[in-house]
């Protein structure tokens, strides 16, 4: 019993917060529409709508949450109605409801829709029942088809404009370059292989011969491999080397360097 | 009898284990300007800071299989600035959800005879490069946008050539370990740089 009460309280609090957020965003949207209507842009209006829709979504989620008890089972009964001002109520409703009287209660504690709305809804249901099941089905199918056609047209238009306009501007970074640069900073890939490790390179077993040749080759050889124009020979070849060399061949370059230099007294 | 000066006492206490949180990406040369403008807007308001550094990476090949790596960095455009010695550990392979690469980091400033000292200790220089670029700060986050230049003649920092047509972009924070909020903040900042740059955690071992 107590747990349910606690749950009820917690879920009411969450609901209150959500509704307060929603109210605030609605308020700011209305303010924006009323006061800045000459400067308002469509994307800004879309932003406000998106915000509202997101908040409604979270509200729905809160209501659907498993820990929320069924509010349908709870009943609110007004116990005391008085035409006097109630300061407490004023404070809680931020000055909107000053009096808890018999005018206010029907509007605030209403659970059924307005009588006019109820009439319209009843008429709609009788209309729907009147036309018969298969006619209704046909109408549903044609609506679905029209919606999907429209969606297709919009997405095709979007794709075409994107591929035409954005693609030339889109490439602001090159992932292959990212990898090459990170490898260079992390362990010197493409940096140290300029030094002629070929002095001890060809003699080293273990790695395939092409590996050490790649690692220890001079710049000219690399250039012939890359076939780049003369101005950019060294740079392009460096990048080609970093990108084209397979993993496992680079470390051989580093190791041969160390081996040749490791005859140091302190090492022993 | 007064206590001996602090420098004479053995350093037995540990320092706080500082970790470096890192996100990396790159940007092509022609988009550099837009990236710089965006960073100037997003980062702390300060004079745009450029740097030209020469970094040398030293390896000590011991009995173990993996050599010990130390990075020595000196500024080529600021006279009188101390040299900077840095140790970076292996990236922590813990949490897949952690958004940044985390590795142990020890930084220290040294005098100019650092290379002689390291050579005497048995380190050998593995590779070197010149980094030229811009530095931005936002709170504790440091954003570096720099181009890596390969040094053609070892020891001669004048003959350099660019390694690629892109600038490397690094977002890093040095903070005590275990602070996941840091990597969340970094990811939020990285979101603001999309689609110009995609900053992500890149495991260097994958690129070997």
Q: Are B130 and B148 in contact (CB under 8 A)?
A: yes
Quick one: B89 exposed, middle or buried, by C-beta within 10 A (0-12, 13-18, 19+)?
A: middle
Task: With beta carbons less than 8 A apart as the criterion, state whether A178 and A243 touch.
Answer: no
Judged by DSSP in three states, A40 sits in coil
The per-residue pLDDT for B8 is 55
Residues of A in contact with B166 (CB under 8 A): 173-174, 177-178, 181
Report the residue of chain B nearest A175, measured CA to CA.
Answer: B26
In chain A, % of residues over pLDDT 90:
9
Query: Over the stretch B48-102, which tens digit does the pLDDT of each residue have?
Result: 789 999 999 999 888 777 888 999 999 998 888 999 999 998 888 776 667 888 8
Mean pLDDT rounded to a whole number for chain A? 71
| Binary contact (A238, B163; C-beta < 8 A) | yes
- In B, which residues are within 8 Å of A170 by CB distance? 195
pLDDT for B85 equals: 93
Q: Which is it for the CA torsion B38, B40, B41, B42, positive or negative?
A: positive
Q: DSSP 3-state assignment of B130?
A: strand
In the predicted model, is pLDDT for residue A70 greater than 90? no
Q: With an 8 Å Cβ cutoff, are B197 and A172 in contact?
A: yes
Q: Which pLDDT score is estimated for A55?
A: 85
Query: Which whole number is the average pLDDT over A232-239?
Result: 39
Mark yes or no for CB contact A257/B25 under 8 Å: no
Residue A257 pLDDT = 45
CA–CA separation, A249 and A252 (whole Å): 6
Of residues B135 and A82, more confidence is placed in B135
pLDDT > 90? residue B117: yes
Please give the ipTM for the structure prediction: 0.84
Within 8 A of A251 by CB-CB distance, chain B residues are 208
Q: Average model confidence (pLDDT) for chain B?
A: 85
On chain A, the residues whose CB falls within 8 A of the CB of B25 are: 173, 178
Closest-CA distance, B133 to chain A, in angstroms, reads 14
Of all residues in chain B, what percent carry a pLDDT higher than 90? Answer: 30
Query: Among the listed ranges A3-12, A68-77, A140-149, which one has the minimum average pLDDT value?
Result: A68-77
> Does residue A231 surpass a pLDDT of 60?
no
Q: Indicate which of A185, A263, A265 best probes the interface with B, i.e. most B CBs within 10 Å of its own CB.
A: A185
- pLDDT of A264: 54
**pLDDT in the model for residue B95:** 66
**CB B166 to CB A181 under 8 A?**
yes
A197 within 8 A of A256, measured Cβ to Cβ: yes
Q: Do A173 and B31 touch (CB under 8 A)?
A: yes
Look up the pTM and report it. 0.50
Instruction: Give me the domains of chain B, ranges plus CATH numbers.
Output: 18-201 (2.40.320.10)
Q: Is the pLDDT of residue A142 over 90?
A: yes
The domain over range A1-74 is classified in CATH as 1.20.58:
yes
Report the pLDDT value the prediction gives residue B84, as an integer from 0 to 100: 93
Pairwise pLDDT comparison (A22 vs A239), residue with the higher score? A22
DSSP state of A114: P
Of the two residues B23 and B194, the one the predictor is more confident about is: B23
CA A40/CA A32 separation, integer angstroms: 8
Distance CA B84, CA B73 (A): 5
**Higher pLDDT among residues A70 and A201, named by residue:** A70
Q: Is the pLDDT of residue A194 over 70?
A: no
* B157 close contact with A: CB closer than 8 A: no
Q: What is the tens place of the pLDDT at every residue in B10-51?
A: 555 566 678 899 999 999 988 888 888 888 888 877 777 899
Q: What value does the mean pLDDT take over residues B181-190?
A: 87
Q: Give the number of residues written for chain B.
A: 208
Tell me which residue of B98, B94, B91, B75 sits closest to B20, measured CA to CA.
B91
Which residues, in sequence order, are CB contacts of B129 under 8 Å at separation 6+?
A184, A185, A188, A191, B54, B55, B148, B149, B150, B151, B163
- Residues 6 or more apart whose CB falls under 8 angstroms from that of B95 comprise B180
């Amino acid at each position: 019993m107590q747990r349910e009460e606690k749950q009820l309280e917690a879920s009411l609090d969450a609901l209150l917060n959500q509704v307060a957020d929603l109210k605030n965003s609605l308020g700011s949207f209305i303010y924006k529409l009323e006061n800045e209507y000459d400067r308002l842009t469509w994307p800004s209006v879309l932003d406000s709508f998106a915000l509202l829709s997101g908040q409604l979504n979270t509200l729905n989620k809160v209501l659907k949450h498993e820990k929320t008890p069924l509010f349908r089972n709870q009943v609110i009964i007004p116990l005391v109605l008085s035409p006097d001002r109630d300061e407490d109520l004023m404070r809680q409703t931020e000055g909107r409801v000053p009096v808890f009287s018999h005018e206010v209660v029907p509007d605030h504690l209403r659970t059924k829709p307005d009588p006019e709305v109820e009439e319209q809804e009843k008429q709609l249901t009788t209309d729907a029942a009147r036309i018969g099941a298969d006619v209704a089905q046909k109408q549903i199918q044609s609506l679905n088809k029209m919606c999907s056609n429209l969606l297709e047209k919009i997405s095709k238009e979007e794709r075409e404009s994107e591929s035409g306009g954005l693609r030339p501007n889109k490439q602001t970074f090159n992932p292959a370059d990212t990898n090459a640069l990170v490898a260079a900073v992390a362990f010197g890939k493409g940096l140290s292989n300029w030094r002629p490790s070929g002095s001890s390179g060809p003699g080293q077993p273990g790695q395939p011969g092409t590996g050490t040749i790649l690692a220890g080759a001079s710049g000219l050889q690399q250039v012939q491999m890359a076939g780049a124009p003369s101005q950019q020979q060294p740079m392009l070849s460096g990048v080609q080397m970093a990108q084209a060399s397979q993993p496992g061949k680079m470390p051989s370059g580093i190791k041969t360097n160390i081996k040749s230099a490791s005859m140091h007294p302190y090492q022993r | 009898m007064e206590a001996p000066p602090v420098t004479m006492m053995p350093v037995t206490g540990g320092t706080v284990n500082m970790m470096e949180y890192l996100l990396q990406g790159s940007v092509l040369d022609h988009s550099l300007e837009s990236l710089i403008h965006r960073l100037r807007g997003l980062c702390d308001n300060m004079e745009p800071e450029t740097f030209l550094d020469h970094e040398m990476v030293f390896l000590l090949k011991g009995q173990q299989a993996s050599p010990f790596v130390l990075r020595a960095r000196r500024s080529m455009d600021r006279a009188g600035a101390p040299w900077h010695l840095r140790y970076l550990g292996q990236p922590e392979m813990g949490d897949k959800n952690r958004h940044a690469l985390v590795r142990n980091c020890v930084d220290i400033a040294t005098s100019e005879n650092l290379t002689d000292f390291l050579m005497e200790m048995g380190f050998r220089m593995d590779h070197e490069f010149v980094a030229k670029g811009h530095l931005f700060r936002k709170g504790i986050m440091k954003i570096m946008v720099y181009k890596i230049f390969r040094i053609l003649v070892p020891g001669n920092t004048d003959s350099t050539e660019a390694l690629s047509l892109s600038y490397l972009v690094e977002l890093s924070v040095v903070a005590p370990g275990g602070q996941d909020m840091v990597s969340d903040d970094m990811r939020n900042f990285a979101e603001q740089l999309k689609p110009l740059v995609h900053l992500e955690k890149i495991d260097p071992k994958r690129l070997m």
